[in-house]
Structure 1
Amino acid sequence: MAHPKDVDPMRSPRAFYGSELRRLREAAGLSQEKLGEMVICSGAYIGQIESAVRKPQLDMSVRLDAVFGTDGLLARLCVLANKSKHADYFAEASDLEALAVAIHEYAPTLIPGVLQTEAYARAVILAAQPLASEESVRERLAARIERSRVLANPTRPLLWVILDENVLRRPIGGPNVMHEQLLHVIGLVERRRIIVQVIPIAHGAHSLMEGVLSLMAFDDAPQVAYVEGLHAGQLLDDPSSLAKCQLSYDLGRAVALPPEASLSMLRSAAEEYLR
């Protein structure tokens, strides 16, 4: 987890909330542990809010305002911090994705959002909302493409993706869009920026078939898992659920093609869309 002083407060409303909380805490001469005692939580949780790993809660913000005498400032910032360009069920996962040092993801039907090209993302958005206004489509598209910024750093996060072969074969947006999309993924693999494995359809049933799974790890915060179904998603952080998700991912990785063979399948699929 980034040290609070390393977090850019302009990166997001949640980061701004965290920087303001740190500023107020340090001005009051309080440690994270002491402030946590005063608002009935752990010092580690205060640190995670300051680092924007955890989203602030309104009831806690009210208690923090009472401690600092800030007349509702943090409560008002809390409302802004919890607004998102993404669907409500994915908003917190998106914020955590930007902070993760390692992401292990499984995609059963679509190229993961962080890897989507603009044309591919537009096709996905229009398929889900065919009657959406052009303004709404542009807003959702901008939010989707913004996620790719997590790959701007040449080394972090580690991104390891398992794709079901169906992802390669479904012609989202048509042959040209798919060709461009697969070339984009291939380029990232060839530049050694990401690792991709493919589970061939011929391998039959496997442990990851039931939906999207993303495992996110942080420098100094507990691992979380994000699972998603149709118009619904959930973050999991209890040890039992995380252990089950990790086992499912490891079993899926074991039946997937090795990275080199997976890259060959990606190249072959990309070429087929030109025929």
Structure 2
Amino acid sequence: MVLDGERDVSDIRFGQALARARKRVGRTQTTLARFLGCSKGHISHIECGYRRLAEVSVAGIDEELQAGGRLVRLYGELYAPQALDWLDKLHHLQAEAEIIREYHNSLVPGLLQKPRYAAAVIAAGGPWLTTQEVEERAKTRMGRSNAIVKSSLPYLNVVLDDMVVKRPVADPLVMFEQCQYLCELAESGRIVLQFFPWDSRPHAGLNGPMMLLSSGTAPDVFHAESVYLGQSFDDPSTVRRYGMLFARLQANARPERESVRFLREVMKEYENAQ
């Protein structure tokens, strides 16, 4: 996508990420130019989105700036999108994020799903899938989520509608296990979990699920999903607006301890129903 006839959005995003990574380790444009064997002006043009960094230089720059592979992943995501479907792109964004803020009004987010819950959700949303296909997709989802949740980063701030756990998408045992897992994550401090009460108003989440991802080496991203597609936006004004919506959801949701008490009450209901 070309902006103002001169700059490409992908070039702008990578340039911003490069500048942040450079400043984080205290490098100047001059020292980076010396490393690449080019002029300071060329580095400035890359960081401002007027030039594209040559692919052969990305890995070396990533190592020089101690970016931990983030610049390499971002470059691949921005300039080779045909090789990735939207779920792959989302996974890359989640893996490089330092903070993830997520709201869902109907399901437990994929990052926080247990295997049997994930399989039930996938099967319900794709009745044309075979049992083997459902199992394969659930396995892929678990591999992606475990890699992120078991790490110290990103920080996860999650707001869920009461209906996410009150409406059973599987049998009581599966729902009990899923609620128990959420409770463990919340009580361990791995996630900040809040539930949005059924009768709380105003409801800033009526437009559906949303996710905000923040990274120290790339622009903040807003991600939204429909029934068949996910889209990500890093336009600053869009991210700010939806950041405001998420803040309102947090403000009107139950506090953390009260949310855990609510979740334990729901767990008892599923335990008694088994």
- Shorter-chain-normalised TM-score: which range? 0.7 to 0.9
Partner of 1:17: none
**Under a length normalisation based on structure 2, what TM-score does the superposition of the two structures give?**
0.74
Percent of aligned positions with the same letter in both sequences? 30
Find the partner of 2:79 among 32, 35, 57: 57
Per the normalisation by structure 1, the TM-score is 0.73
Residue 105 of structure 2 is matched in structure 1 by 108
The Cα RMSD (Å) is 3.1
Q: Hey, what's the Cα distance between the residues in 2 that align with 1:231 and 1:205?
A: 28
Give the alignment partner of residue 242 of structure 2, picking from 230, 241, 245.
245
In the alignment, which residue of structure 2 is the partner of 1:150?
Answer: 148
SS at match of 1:257: coil
Does the 8 A contact of 1:162 with 1:256 survive in 2? Answer: yes
Partner in structure 1 of residue 86 of structure 2? 89
Asked if 1:136 corresponds to 2:126, the answer is no
Q: Which residue in the other structure is 1:33 paired with? A: 43
- Give 1:1-275 correspondences, 5 Å limit: 29=37, 33=43, 36=46, 41=51, 50-54=71-75, 55-58=77-80, 82-83=83-84, 88-148=85-145, 149-153=147-151, 155-275=152-272
Runs of 4+ in 1 over 6 A off after TM superposition: 1-4
SS of 1:51's equivalent in the other structure is: helix
Of 184-193 and 228-237, the range deviating more from structure 2: 228-237
CA contact (8 A) 1:3 1:51 kept: no
Contact 2:70-2:96 at 8 Å conserved across structures: no
Indicate if the aligned counterparts of 2:201 and 2:252 stay in contact, CA closer than 8 A.
Answer: no
How many residues get paired? 227
CA contact (8 A) 2:148 2:154 kept: yes
Counterpart secondary structure, 1:125: helix
* CA–CA separation in structure 2 for the residues paired with 1:272 and 1:144: 28
Shift of 1:94: 1.7
- Structure 1 residues 242 and 27 mapped into 2: Cα distance closer, same or farther (>3 Å)? closer
The change in CA–CA distance for 1:49 and 1:185 in structure 2 (over 3 A counts) is closer
**CA distance in structure 2 between the partners assigned to 1:140 and 1:156 by the alignment:** 24
